[in-house]
Structure 1
């Protein structure tokens, strides 16, 4: 009979290991383990939405590991920290669970995008015949056209290039997932939001959160790229969308904020506007010269 993995470790650290599934179940764990995992998930998600929404796998695992240690330390549970740092099986299960919950968060943002994208981009207003809808979605995906509002939703010629990331869909998805209800992440992390400039303390949406939202919208649009009424649901796997995320991080940093900081007031005006709009319901190696970047009316931007 196999030895109990919890033998020789303090009872307080005991973990109920999975029998069939590969991931532990939170609900069967002791209150102590549940408490640590809840806090660790909160910390890891905070890193994702305030620092890097699509971090490389190694960084995600490191963030989860650090979050678990910080959570156990916060609750003065040195025995859990001691075992976590020495029991590889124990650590692997805890890290896998926390990392999975961060991925689940991104998946829920994608769910919100899937629900809102068709109506907010007017996709169903475009006929399927003659590939009109297919061409329409392709145009939205070209050079990030979907991040700009249009005066006429169905006309690409009415795109407002001086208003990047102000498309109503971006605000709607951000509001729906991050700011709806007192248990939302936006409410939970209220004190973490800040301003990037000294002259105005208005809170901003962090670029990582915005990146998660726009990549989720990008993924939802790609699922409708064939122009059919029924979308082709695809897994929202971090590694498959990290390049798109990096493109948006580059656009925000290099083309809007600018490396010399000359666009910092326009950047602040955009990100603080997004924060205000999203709250009303209570989201590199890539070069800025990439041919995937949109034509941007920087001079016409607010700020």
Structure 2
């Protein structure tokens, strides 16, 4: 199923724009001409099964590898001609924490400051501020080898922020974290956007993560974007949504059922299930019919497919495939 939504009306200039990005390894096509436009100060999530091309997209946009075709701009700079300018504006946090286990948290941050040629005094100031912001001050002088998974991921993201990037690529940032640590990371990501105006490009296989965080979501499958929109827009692409009406008695149920030919009637539960796309106009139309017929419902609930349904329908896979890691 390929049903991209209408392109959004942007209220901010694009932080990332790409047109026709392509990448192959031998005869394996990893990206097959994808287009992206991501506004500044937003969270964009890229979903897809293993092998869809998510990590390859991040690697291209962060200048780690070159595309075979297409063009892109990141932070207003051409990805090919101004690669150094792109690198100066971005930060990248990969799937696995890139921290030195033998150093302390503070030493890891100071090392990153040195690598980015931050003056010594400013580097110490930034390290102290990041330790405070990520609630790592008490553990600042402990070796990272003693850290929990959640602490390591927070430190990894803090290291990305040492260079004060305006765009951050987060490649599956909460993989392996427990639910509490995942929610802590979500709060940190939201704060980066709200407080600092940072743009986040997020790849994830946790669909609830995209639902919670992303302003817009794109679904990538076999190297192609098969849909893009807000979480609600994507859910409305999938059949199965309905409005459930419950009535006080059979008389009211039967009276309502006569006005909704496609509805499923359940006399035991005294409910009527009306197919719906979940939109406000559809809901308003149902209420208008009930009002005109002088029928009173005891309760009304709107049910829409979740992102799991979207993912499985759009990608056509019941489970993630096992394409090679290179294709990710």
TM-score category (smaller protein): under 0.3
More strand by share: 2
> Relative CO higher for 1 or 2, CA cutoff 8 Å, sep ≥ 6?
2
Give the number of the structure whose alpha-carbon radius of gyration is greater: 2
TM-score of the superposed pair, with normalisation by structure 2: 0.25
